[in-house]
Amino acid sequence: MLGAMAEALLIVDFQNDFCPGGALEVPEGAAIAGRVAELAGTGRFDPVVATRDWHPPDHGSFREQGGRWPVHCVQGTPGAELHPSLDRSQVDVVLDKGTDPHTDGYSGFDGTALAELLRDRSVDAVTVCGLATDVCVRHTALEALQEGFAVTLDEAGSRGLDPRDIERTFAEVRERGGRVA
């Protein structure tokens, strides 16, 4: 199809620690499972990328290290694994972020090869979903815009921590030229 944009799906941090019973539970975090499966199964996206918080035990974002968050998504723990509802056969690439104890790693682009991966596949548009809307989804969507990608933040495929911050995230994505759908 002439002029068609190559589009990637970025599933941000759909991990056990951000779902019910996890160390840093996002309200209704597991409720995105159906929408994420629907998006990943459309065949519309190439590639489908899942990011993971993959923190060392002494990560600087942890309260014990002076950060703002409880210990979560520690490398190799069950809490750091992708949510079991995510069909791994539909995920082309799993990218770990937040592996450096001295950087937050909020964005899927932070300290990873995500931008290069997308450019190598001639991707010019991304749809972003996952957890949490007002933290890692926000940072990933805004950095994708900064990198020059067309961005759609999928509202149904995302959940966040603070309703006011979620609305601010949607406004900020729109203000910077992205879409919220």
Q: What pLDDT does 3 receive?
A: 56
154 is catalytic: no
What's the average model confidence in pLDDT over 61-77? Answer: 96
135: DSSP letter: I
Q: What pLDDT does 5 receive?
A: 77
Which residue of the set 53, 97, 104, 110 is catalytic?
Answer: 97
What percent of the chain clears pLDDT 90, i.e. is strictly above it?
A: 97
Token pair of 36 as six digits: 């994420």
Which residue of the set 19, 73, 129, 136 is catalytic?
Answer: 136
97 is catalytic: yes
Q: What pLDDT does 142 receive?
A: 98
What's the average model confidence in pLDDT over 13-29? Answer: 97
Q: What pLDDT does 4 receive?
A: 63
CB within 8 Å of 21: residues ≥ 6 apart: none
Sheet holding 150-159, edge to edge: 93-97, 48-53, 6-12, 123-131, 150-159, 179-180
Tens-place pLDDT, residues 82-129: 999 999 999 999 999 999 999 999 999 999 999 999 999 999 999 999
Mean pLDDT over each residue of the chain, to the nearest integer: 96
- pTM score, two decimals? 0.96
The per-residue DSSP string of 88-121 comes to GGG-SEEEEE--STTS---STTTTSSHHHHHHHT
Tell the CATH topology of 6-180. Rossmann fold (3.40.50)
d(CA 79, CA 35): 21
Q: What pLDDT does 1 receive?
A: 47
Tens-place pLDDT, residues 141-181: 999 999 999 999 999 999 999 999 999 999 999 999 999 99
Domain-by-domain residue ranges, the chain? Answer: 6-180
What percent of the chain clears pLDDT 70, i.e. is strictly above it?
A: 98
110 is catalytic: no
Q: What pLDDT does 38 receive?
A: 97
26 pLDDT exceeds 60?
yes
